[in-house]
Structure 1
Amino acid sequence: MSTTSRASRGLAVAAGLAAAVTGLALLPTTPASAASTGLVISEAYGGGGNSGATYTHDFIELYNPTSAAISVDGMSVQYRSSGSAAAATGVTTLSGSVPAGGHYLVQEAQGSGGSTPLPTPNATGTIAMSGTAFTVWLASGTTALNPAADGSTTRPGIVDLVGVNSNTFETAKTAGTGNATSVSRTAADSDDNATDFTVGAPNPENGDTVPPAGEPTEATIAEIQGTGDTSPLAGRDVVTEGVVTAAYPTGGFNGFYLQSGGSGGSGGDGADATPGASDAVYVFGSAATAQVAVGDSVRVEGTVTEFNGLTEIGSPTVTALASPLPAVAPHTGSVPAAADREAHEGELWTPTDDVTVTNTYSTNQYAEIGLAAGDHPLIQPTDVADAQDHAAIAAVEADNADRGVVLDDGSSINFLPSGGGGNQDIPLPWLSKANPIRVGAAVHFTGPVVLDWRNSTWKLQPTHQVTDSGADVATFENTRTENAAPGDLGGDLRLATFNVLNYFNTTGVAYDAAHPGACTYYDDRDGNHVTDRDCGATGPRGAAEDDDLQRQRAKIVAAINELGASIVSLEEIENSVALGEPDRDDALASLVDALNAAAGAGTWAFVPSPAPEDLPPVAEQDVIRTAFIYRPATVTPVGGSEVLTGAPAFSNAREPLAQAFKAAGAPDRDAFAVVVNHFKSKGSGTPNPDGQGNANADRVAQAEALWPFAERFAADRGTDEVFLTGDFNSYTQEDPLQVLYAHGYTNLASTTSPGEATYSFGGLSGSLDHVLANDAAAAMVTGVDVWQINAEESVAFEYSRHNYNATDFYEPNQFRASDHDPEVVGLDLPETGPVPSTVDAEDVTVVFSKEAPRIPVTVTAGGLTPIGTVTLLDGARELTSGQLSGGSAVLELPKKSLKRGTYTFTVSYAGDSGVAPGADQVTVRVTNPAGH
């Protein structure tokens, strides 16, 4: 969103909301009809006067981001506790006005501690605010409002709202505070409390923050910018001259960039004429912007302000210069490192060094594309450095900070249905089916961009709003072509693991019909349900309606059938019994049916669940589970599957599921064990100070319970080879995986393209999904590939975003079938010669002339069922033969073909393709009839 966004648009009520799945981001809610004045809440502090506090009072601070004063007469700030669903319990009436670019301080209750009074407040109330969690809002009137009395996200009269670790918030709540911390706005109002605010030391400001304007000061742009983070002329009226380098009359920015004539480029001697100070500044004002075009030389008079860190000239008047100034030359080379960016704020650049896409998550919402200087994306620190090696982690973080920047579209449009105002009917720029813009793709800049500070992020703005592919700004390598199929891995067969993104064949609407009112949904731009938002702890989490399920299934089927794997471990598939269905494997069977419909009958089968008595109680099972599917033509399960039970460590996660497999036709002794896992997610639980996400201690305990279970299972199946697969919710160097490394397991990294990752979060690439092998299993591995079809893709291509924009991005292919990439491993299985056979021929006694000699024969061969022919021989002479059926046959001689006496014959088995020949001696006695 633009730093010039002036309205509050979204309230979300989070009571009872549970998101227990990994990597599934909650979508923004429907926008509120807020009474927009331009004012926003800029800081809120509830620790005043508490133990450990510096300030003596609680406070709520407002900010006016516009270029004109705003009256607050008849308005109020309101408060309630974090868990309340009632109307406001505290209301403070406001009066006066908030100056342009200035603050308004509302002092609230005083505690018994603290030593520093607040700056002179603009209004005073008596609300005793919580020091850790609360909700505050700015109201257009003074009547106590209830923003969540009926769960509605629309509440007239609310201008702006902030939920501090609360049940009511805009899009997402902020973190909790303490007695020494407040939440303060660090980004323009994007209607997302979690991203707009940060927790830090309180810094109250009142209406005296912006000094009154005096006589305009003639100043160069570099003098206006200064060498610090804020302008030395902030609050002053200034006059300056420059060349218009970028203009945004449409799209919501309502401003233009002005840069000193002749600046930029490398200069005649390669030196910066104004070191430490930028030669460009942002000019905010829609009327002024309508007067200029890129390339114009103009004189600007206005007031210098700081809007969330961006130096602006507000309330501008623009006059065209009679003689043009020297042209501005874009800088070339790499995007400047983090420490050097302030000195180039607003300047024109054309990056010529390597740049790579690193983030596509918000591309379909704000048309933003995260970039990384260099030839690879930004890296999740704990994926490449031990989480306990803080120096190494800090080095990766510093590298990410230096390389990361965001390419924007020159607008503040929210293209999602939650953006309101019909924005979802505007075709999304940049992205298309032919131009998918994937993480890892190389970027080539075809035109200049501006280094811009917006939403607490350094961005590259095009010189105009992008409304099409943006090819005149940048083009992107299409890396889909090199990921059409997994790489060449060698070996006899492939083992894969795949998180299938909450595949439920129970739709939310069907569940709702049986449990009225159970579900809420995410809707498309026509109001149709697409995905389940919340169906309760025991409800589905996937597709909302049948057509959505068909779209989801089509992509998963395409991906699995293209894997080329003989065994696939699955995560995030419906646990049907936990939804109240009698068959635990119902959803799994439906997926296999769909796979076989596409690939041919009998191509795929699934491993049945253990018997109910061998599973945890249903009440302890999650609604998602792990599973195995396999190709019967190439592999055969050995024994049944087994789930780890009775392990307290898995009370908040999916218990490991183990199965042994062998190549089809191989003996049981050649089996290997696979254990699929889905550890506790990082989204809830106790935070970890080492940057490993929430609930890290839980995942460590789960790893400690996993390895002995795997060893015991393998021993029971008579194998030494063990693979651990799945979504461990642990990056490669984090503590849970370190436990498994310490017990002899190796993480199988990509051999086709080293450094490949299975997941992308916050613009950082790393692997949460892994295949690990003990030494014996690792010796079987011939190659490894992370098939990058999902994490690199924009969420716009996911089934869950169908009809979210005027452009239809959905295709029934493998790309963005999930949010996790599958990992595929090639395996070289033991060379298996013919299995030795054992021939067992039963001695018989018959009566001459009354009975025909019939000799039962059984042939066994380990776990195989021999086929072929058995022959009865008298020396070298063949007496008779028969065909084995189920490993057995009966050899019969004609009646009276043997005279009275005792005979010793040989029963010979000829063998088959997998079983060696064998033989046995049999005795046949022929006796006289009774009385002879």
Structure 2
Amino acid sequence: SDGVFVASAAMAADVEIGDHVEVTGTVAESFGLTQVSPGAGGWKQLADPAQAVKPTPLTLPLGEAQRESLEGMLVAPEGRYTITNNFGTNTFGEIGLAAGDTGLPQPTDVARPGSAEYDAVVADNARRLITVDDGAGINFTSGGKNTPVPWLRPDNEVRAGAPVTFTGDDLVLDYRFSLWRLQPTQQLTAGGDEPITIGSTRVAAPKDVGGDVKIASFNVLNYFTLTGEAYEKSGAGTCTYYSDRNGNRVTVNSCTNDGPRGAADDANLQRQQAKIVNAIDALGADVVSLEEIENSAAFGMDRDTALRALVAALNEKAGREEWAAVASPTRVPEREDVIRTAFIHRVGVVEPVGESVIDDDPAFDNARDPLSQEFRPVGGAERDDFLVVVNHFKSKGSGSGEDADTGDGQGASNASRVRQATALVAFADEQKAAAGTETVFLTGDFNSYSKEDPIAVLEDAGYVNVPAKYTDKTTYQFGGLLGSLDHVFASPAAVDKVTGADVWDINADESLGREYSRYDNNVTRLYDTSPYRASDHDPAIVGFTAKQKEPQVGPTRIA
């Protein structure tokens, strides 16, 4: 490399861009970055002018050795790029880019764990990734909370999957915090000239998926109508909170005695609810399976209290009784999580047939129990009935023993999720036999990417991942990798009736700074009541033809 970073605040204050200097100091690696650390008086300005530094063209993908050869140098990025990581944009002013026209795929969303294809995706991701930084070490939600965050404004997007072009500004390639980065030659500030141009990718609604019934899955981000403050006031326990820049409580961090997990108070609950209601209203679905909604029974209330509150808010938005909740069944497990699965439906399109059924198989003791409901199109016949089973499998974040993370890309608790998928197949078989229908949909947050073991269990049982057939859009972003944890599976009979599917990418692609939980984290307030960033998971929607044609009876011939 022909460039090097000089680690000296004193020298930075003493020189200007364009000065010709001689530096004497110790050369060392600092967390992977080669730098020179001069002592006092370890630099001097030279009288003769420096030769103009010309940027070196930079085109990705690039391997590690090629990047090392350019470390610390002025570069001019070329080619097409796509945003793949905006998780730290509102906090640290950084944007992860992937070379090419797509973001970086979650390896187990496109390749079987442990396969040669999986290894190839991991290697390709590393070669394609580069992070554009703001040239500063400010945390804009902590010490820098009163400094406007760069990149993000109330009226722009900065979404994962958005196309990016470089404007021609010269940047410096360096390595910090375990990532190769492009740094501006001056700190980027809000309203300043940005070195990239970002395209717009938002859409106001999902694609038309056809059919006379539309089913969707929506993780509603710990929607609790029991707020942290109300829980504490009841004397049931105490809570800690995440606060805004003025110290006002926004969301629950944790509560004793397994308390609520959502908004801190009524004002923040209304902010959360407004986004969820606007998202569901515009989604266009007739049956919506919900995950991460409060199980009100855990707090001594009717089990459907929070569910009915969401329905009431939807009907208020609609101006009529458009939505109804599927009531909890008479029989519920003795022990349940504080979050649950649920259904809501449009009353003029479908109606429940009989009670819902909860699967309390021990396989789900560390997850949320599946919920099954038979539906019939309004005005339809028994032959038009279909079954939907909503799920929320164990997360990837924890597990020990056989559930420990094996390092194959599937995360922790994979063994539990495999057992849950196996139990789900058996439960669905029981329920479809009881309902007398072969038209079955399995929906929800499976906490499993598309090529992982639990999904293979479902597909081996004959279920088809419908959104994956119709779109390459994904439902979740984690670590700058894009994949789908949320799915809608259809039985063979149901697949034949499907007319279309889509993932409405309103959540996972958006900056975290727009979420209700980050309200007023920075002096630039990004929250609004739009559907965008109503949750951290994107809803998936499937259309199908539920009503069968009347049997045709031919003319009778009399001999």
Give the TM interval when normalised to the shorter protein: over 0.9
Contact 2:476/2:508 (CA < 8 Å) preserved in 1? yes
Shift of 1:769: 0.3
Which structure dedicates a bigger proportion of its chain to helix? 2
Aligned ranges for residues 625-636 of structure 1 at < 5 Å?
625-636=340-351
2:410 aligned partner: 692
Q: Distance in 2 between matches of 1:757 and 1:487?
A: 14
Q: Distance in 1 between matches of 2:272 and 2:298?
A: 21
Aligned ranges for residues 265-664 of structure 1 at < 5 Å?
278-315=1-38, 316-334=42-60, 336-387=62-113, 389-416=114-141, 419-420=142-143, 423-446=144-167, 447-480=169-202, 483-515=203-235, 518-581=238-301, 583-611=302-330, 614-617=331-334, 620-645=335-360, 647-664=361-378
Q: Which runs of 4+ in 1 moved over 6 A?
A: none
Aligned ranges for residues 502-901 of structure 1 at < 5 Å?
502-515=222-235, 518-581=238-301, 583-611=302-330, 614-617=331-334, 620-645=335-360, 647-685=361-399, 686-689=403-406, 690-750=408-468, 754-833=471-550
Shift of 1:332: 3.9
Aligned ranges for residues 50-61 of structure 1 at < 5 Å?
none
Q: Which amino acid aligns with 1:790?
A: N
The 3-state SS of whatever aligns with 1:344 is coil
The change in CA–CA distance for 1:452 and 1:516 in structure 2 (over 3 A counts) is same
Q: Distance in 2 between matches of 1:749 and 1:598?
A: 28
The 3-state SS of whatever aligns with 1:558 is helix
Contact 1:519/1:534 (CA < 8 Å) preserved in 2? yes
Deviation digits for residues 454-488 of structure 1, max 9, x if unmatched?
A: 112111111111112454411211212xx211012
Contact 2:231/2:237 (CA < 8 Å) preserved in 1? no
Q: Which amino acid aligns with 2:348?
A: A
Contact 2:380/2:547 (CA < 8 Å) preserved in 1? no
Shift of 1:516: 6.2
Q: Distance in 1 between matches of 2:531 and 2:130?
A: 29
Q: Which amino acid aligns with 2:327?
A: P
The change in CA–CA distance for 1:473 and 1:663 in structure 2 (over 3 A counts) is same
Contact 1:485/1:787 (CA < 8 Å) preserved in 2? yes
The 3-state SS of whatever aligns with 1:572 is strand
Q: Which amino acid aligns with 2:491?
A: N
Contact 2:162/2:198 (CA < 8 Å) preserved in 1? yes
Q: Which amino acid aligns with 2:102?
A: H
Q: Distance in 2 between matches of 1:319 and 1:724?
A: 70
Contact 1:638/1:668 (CA < 8 Å) preserved in 2? no
Aligned ranges for residues 235-250 of structure 1 at < 5 Å?
none
1:848 aligned partner: none
| Structure of higher RCO (CA pairs closer than 8 Å, 6+ residues apart) | 2
Q: Distance in 1 between matches of 2:11 and 2:370?
A: 64
The change in CA–CA distance for 1:694 and 1:344 in structure 2 (over 3 A counts) is same
Q: Distance in 2 between matches of 1:488 and 1:292?
A: 59
Q: Which amino acid aligns with 2:11?
A: A
Shift of 1:290: 2.0
The change in CA–CA distance for 1:573 and 1:606 in structure 2 (over 3 A counts) is same
The change in CA–CA distance for 1:505 and 1:539 in structure 2 (over 3 A counts) is same
Contact 2:350/2:377 (CA < 8 Å) preserved in 1? yes
Deviation digits for residues 642-671 of structure 1, max 9, x if unmatched?
A: 1112x1111111111001112110012210
The change in CA–CA distance for 1:713 and 1:766 in structure 2 (over 3 A counts) is same
Q: Distance in 2 between matches of 1:834 and 1:779?
A: 18
| TM-score (norm: length of structure 2) | 0.95
Q: Distance in 1 between matches of 2:412 and 2:27?
A: 43
Q: Distance in 2 between matches of 1:320 and 1:537?
A: 68
The 3-state SS of whatever aligns with 2:197 is strand
The change in CA–CA distance for 1:751 and 1:696 in structure 2 (over 3 A counts) is closer
Q: Distance in 2 between matches of 1:610 and 1:364?
A: 43
Shift of 1:835: 12
The 3-state SS of whatever aligns with 1:424 is coil
Shift of 1:442: 1.0
Deviation digits for residues 292-328 of structure 1, max 9, x if unmatched?
A: 3333333323332322221112124131442331432
2:557 aligned partner: none
Identity of aligned residues (%): 52
2:556 aligned partner: none
| TM-score (norm: length of structure 1) | 0.57
Aligned ranges for residues 59-78 of structure 1 at < 5 Å?
none
Q: Distance in 1 between matches of 2:155 and 2:72?
A: 32
The change in CA–CA distance for 1:471 and 1:824 in structure 2 (over 3 A counts) is farther
Q: Distance in 1 between matches of 2:467 and 2:78?
A: 32
Contact 2:111/2:118 (CA < 8 Å) preserved in 1? yes
Deviation digits for residues 329-355 of structure 1, max 9, x if unmatched?
A: 332433633331111101122222111
Cα RMSD, aligned residues only? 1.7
Shift of 1:371: 1.1
Contact 1:666/1:832 (CA < 8 Å) preserved in 2? no
Gaps of 5+ in 2: 554-559
Contact 1:490/1:782 (CA < 8 Å) preserved in 2? yes
The 3-state SS of whatever aligns with 1:610 is coil
Q: Which amino acid aligns with 1:478?
A: S
Q: Distance in 2 between matches of 1:799 and 1:539?
A: 20
Q: Distance in 1 between matches of 2:405 and 2:30?
A: 34
